Chain A
Amino acid sequence: MIHALEARHAPVVSLWVWYHVGGRNEVPGTTGMSHFLEHMLFKGTPSHPKGDLDRLLARYGAQWNAFTNEDVTCYFETIPKARYATALELEADRMRNALVSVEETEAERTVIVSEREGLENDPSFLLGEELQAVAFSRHPYGQGVIGSKDEIKLMSRDGLYAHYRRFYAPNNAYVVVAGDDDAERLADMAAAAFASLEPSKDLGEPPKAPEPPQRGERRILVRRAGGTLPLVMMAYHAPRASDPTAPSLTALAVALSGTSGGSDGASGRSSRLHRAIVEKGLATDVDASFRLTKDPNLFWVDATLRPEIAHADVEKALLAELDRIAQEPITEAEFARVRRQLMAATAFATDTVTWRAYRCGEILSTGAAGSIADWYDKLAAVTRDQITEAAAATFSERSRNVGWFVPEAAD
């Protein structure tokens, strides 16, 4: 499927290829396989040997990279528009012709272990990974994306290549392009580049592992010396992106913590949690987030505590705010600010060509809406009462998962 958007304000094109494969498609023993494979897609094809891709795109000043999440693996290039055809040729080539050699698999394995070890240095990652695992008893979202270190070490070249041949094909991909040309022409060029590629005959059914309802709060503690500030995280089960309440949950997250994040900034300070937690001197930072995903996932609330503050005090304050927003509508003034922040954040993101294409791909690939404009309309239609209803439906003790990071003294 191909979607093209015009973005005429800069002489660039941003090309994104979204594959419907991520952590959601993995089972124990192969966790991290989609992410590992993402790395291998930079190791060349018969037409473009290793290093060729790097140098070609670097020569054009391209901004380019890839990421893997629970639902998708995604590759993008933002390049001068004169080089659009080259980007298409490179992406079409690696969709079916990537070399996944034994030697390169071994060389990349230590890089991926290093990526994971870098994440492990961060207490938020450690707590978040464990809390996510606790929140899901059946659904693969509980496995995360990067995989366990032991499974990364055991990943085989043949397993990776089979995963590649199965999922990297035109019938399992979205191509989204935004740039300085007529949308029809951008789409036609993309269609021509990918048209002759062989589809996968082995896609099979989408993964089905519905998460059974949670019947009561689950709690974890992570005690480590690798951090000094205590953390409190809460994760509530929440619906998928295509659910009619997804726009309300997006607005709810803004009402709770604004759109920009980070207590150093001057924005989002009128939000409920900032006022109740940060302004009261309980925490340095607080955040609430709802992500658009294919399957039901989690609504996260987290706080980084000031050093002398007890976890229980912050948890109590957070719960009081979540209860309050679930019981009484936010004020008209708050609602006006939430709407303005949502609309502005949409404009800010789509005024950058790269993020316009990304936003479109995210909305399409998760089923949130049929276009950026459609998603914008859904956000604009959210009412005050719907925010309250979304909070009431989400913030229940039965579907709550709570994690504390407890810093310990070094040995």
Chain B
Amino acid sequence: MKLERRRLDNGLRIAVAPIADLRSTAVLLAVEAGAWFEPIGRAGVARLAAQTMLRGTRSKSASAFADAMDDLGAVARLDVGSHAAIFSAQCLRDDLGALLGLMAEVLRTPSLAPDDVEFVRGQTLAQLERDERDTRAVVDRVWRELVYPKLHPFHAPAIGDAAVVRAVTTDEIREYHQTAIRPDGAILVVAGAAPTDVVEQAAQRAFADWRVTAPRLVRKIPEAVLTATVRRTEVVPDKTQSDVLIGWPGMPRTDPRFVAARVTNMVYAADTFASRAGNVIRDQLGLAYYVFSGMGSSRGQSPWIVRMGVNPQNVNRAIEVALDELRKVTLGDIADDDLALAKDKLVGELDVALESPGGVASMVMEAELFDLGEDHFERYPRELRAVSKEQVVDTARTFLPPERHAAVVAGPPLPDIAA
């Protein structure tokens, strides 16, 4: 993969991965405006601001902006994650300049009109209401409440807290935009048909005079600690299947143990077919259709979680088996071939991810966002290969203690309540 980097005077960093023989270009623009940077106790403000920004700019009404985006045939969205707000898009090769121009308008000069705030508030409250009967959303929300202190940015999902969403004012949205949507710390990644000089010129036109206009909010983040096992069962009426989430607070992406953690995750449960939890729970026992684990990438203790969809009759057993498999990992009961398989898979996936401009852009964004180094893509496969069984055991014992976990079940009433 060819990767070239540039930096604008205002601090915006640019990374370009040109790919020959394509007709389109994938664009990711990350601004440090995720939950991590949200005002304390105002969960949902970042997402409300992002969605309102998409509803028109000072020079384009919502309708004119919609026309302009669809005139390009581009796809675009602005999502608020745990660390960054990421504008992700794809456009045809010759439209990159126009697309970056529209993205710049959204970020720099959104109209943020009261009517638009009300529209987004209505949409968001409806989605929050839907989430109350969505088992997957319920386990996610309740699990966060159990694991993260109330003032922690990960205490609530990105959609936020209903009370905050109801109360947010237009002024608050505007103030958040002014302090959080800024070029310093922002990263533009472009992968695909556009060559580097074209990207650089287009980025200069769109972002060179973007300036910081207010001091950044600095937030003190409390530590998340699980001192004992906590379990919660939430009955969601008229459902057939239970959603199960077992998890722990994870580690920052910049932690030197993160690479070993990725291998640990793969050995344990990352893949329904290749990891041991899926192998036993789905393949041997037929208890669930899906079982997988995931660990987030952020500056903080992102969730490290296992998810399963299970018949209510089998919930307790599935949880027990998932924890039994984890216990084996912590005791070093890991076959050499299982460890080799996990590492092979993670290294092999790096090659396969090159098949799409979006896949390339995502890999590059992670490396840039967390300052993983200019030689990251050369080092990373070697670092994965070098992870030892001892490191896997140590990571599991430190971060995934089976005797101290938080588990949430949402769905029909259980025949035998888990906790």
Q: Are A411 and B237 closer than 8 Å at their CB atoms? A: yes
Q: Does A260 sit at the interface, judged by CB under 8 A?
A: yes
Q: Chain B interface: which of A128-136, A160-168, A336-344?
A: A336-344
Could you tell me the distance between the alpha carbons of A49 and B24 in the complex, rounded to whole angstroms? 42
Q: How far is the CB of B284 from chain A (nearest CB, A)?
A: 7
Question: A59: which B residues are within 8 A, CB to CB?
Answer: 341, 344-345, 348
Q: Are B241 and A266 closer than 8 Å at their CB atoms? A: no
Question: A225: which B residues are within 8 A, CB to CB?
Answer: 133, 237-238
Known A-B contacts A120-B240, A228-B130; the reply to A267 vs B67 at CB < 8 A is: no
Question: A348: which B residues are within 8 A, CB to CB?
Answer: 24, 75, 90
Contact with B along A148-188 (1 / 0, CB 8 A): 00000000000000000000000000000000000000000
Q: Are B70 and A258 closer than 8 Å at their CB atoms? A: yes
Contact with B along A48-59 (1 / 0, CB 8 A): 001100110011
Known: A266-B89, A267-B76. 13 other contacts (CB 8 A): A61-B350, A79-B348, A80-B351, A110-B311, A111-B286, A226-B237, A227-B133, A259-B73, A265-B77, A266-B65, A270-B69, A351-B192, A410-B237
Could you tell me the distance between the alpha carbons of A12 and B132 in the complex, rounded to whole angstroms? 42
Known A-B contacts A266-B69, A270-B70, A340-B72; the reply to A58 vs B345 at CB < 8 A is: yes
7 closest cross-chain pairs (CB), A and B: A61-B348, A344-B73, A269-B66, A226-B238, A410-B237, A58-B274, A340-B73
Q: Are A113 and B19 closer than 8 Å at their CB atoms? A: no
Question: A343: which B residues are within 8 A, CB to CB?
Answer: 73, 92
Binding site for A on B (CB under 8 A): 19-24, 51, 54, 62-63, 65-67, 69-79, 89-92, 106, 119, 122-123, 125-127, 129-130, 132-135, 192, 236-241, 243, 271, 273-274, 279, 282-290, 309-311, 341, 344-352, 354-359, 411
Could you tell me the distance between the alpha carbons of A393 and B359 in the complex, rounded to whole angstroms? 41
Could you tell me the distance between the alpha carbons of A354 and B283 in the complex, rounded to whole angstroms? 26
In the complex, the chain B residue whose C-beta lies closest to that of A354 is B355
Q: Are A114 and B309 closer than 8 Å at their CB atoms? A: yes
Question: B285: which A residues are within 8 A, CB to CB?
Answer: 107
Q: How far is the CB of B18 from chain A (nearest CB, A)?
A: 10
Q: Chain B interface: which of A3-11, A91-99, A199-207, A322-330?
A: A3-11
Q: How far is the CB of A177 from chain B (nearest CB, A)?
A: 13
In the complex, the chain A residue whose C-beta lies closest to that of B130 is A229
Q: Are A227 and B130 closer than 8 Å at their CB atoms? A: yes
In the complex, the chain A residue whose C-beta lies closest to that of B102 is A266
Question: B127: which A residues are within 8 A, CB to CB?
Answer: 284
Q: Does A210 sit at the interface, judged by CB under 8 A?
A: no
Q: Are B348 and A60 closer than 8 Å at their CB atoms? A: yes
Q: Are A344 and B92 closer than 8 Å at their CB atoms? A: yes
Checking A10, A60, A110, A281 against B355 with a beta-carbon cut-off of 8 angstroms, the contacting residue is: A10
Report 6 cross-chain contacts, Cβ distance below 8 Å, ordered by A residue. A7-B21, A106-B286, A110-B287, A284-B127, A284-B130, A345-B75
Q: How far is the CB of B291 from chain A (nearest CB, A)?
A: 10
Q: Are B119 and A226 closer than 8 Å at their CB atoms? A: no
Q: Does A347 sit at the interface, judged by CB under 8 A?
A: yes
Q: Does A117 sit at the interface, judged by CB under 8 A?
A: yes
Q: Does A268 sit at the interface, judged by CB under 8 A?
A: yes
Q: Does A263 sit at the interface, judged by CB under 8 A?
A: yes
Known A-B contacts A267-B69, A411-B237; the reply to A8 vs B21 at CB < 8 A is: yes
Could you tell me the distance between the alpha carbons of A340 and B19 in the complex, rounded to whole angstroms? 22
Known A-B contacts A107-B284, A117-B311, A121-B135; the reply to A61 vs B23 at CB < 8 A is: no
Q: How far is the CB of B123 from chain A (nearest CB, A)?
A: 6
In the complex, the chain B residue whose C-beta lies closest to that of A271 is B70
Known A-B contacts A55-B341, A61-B347, A62-B352; the reply to A229 vs B70 at CB < 8 A is: no
In the complex, the chain A residue whose C-beta lies closest to that of B90 is A348
Q: Are A351 and B354 closer than 8 Å at their CB atoms? A: no
Could you tell me the distance between the alpha carbons of A11 and B132 in the complex, rounded to whole angstroms? 44
Q: Does A115 sit at the interface, judged by CB under 8 A?
A: yes
Q: How far is the CB of B75 from chain A (nearest CB, A)?
A: 5
A51, A259, A266, A351 pick with most chain B CB within 10 angstroms = A266
In the complex, the chain A residue whose C-beta lies closest to that of B51 is A264
In the complex, the chain B residue whose C-beta lies closest to that of A338 is B70
Could you tell me the distance between the alpha carbons of A347 and B193 in the complex, rounded to whole angstroms? 11
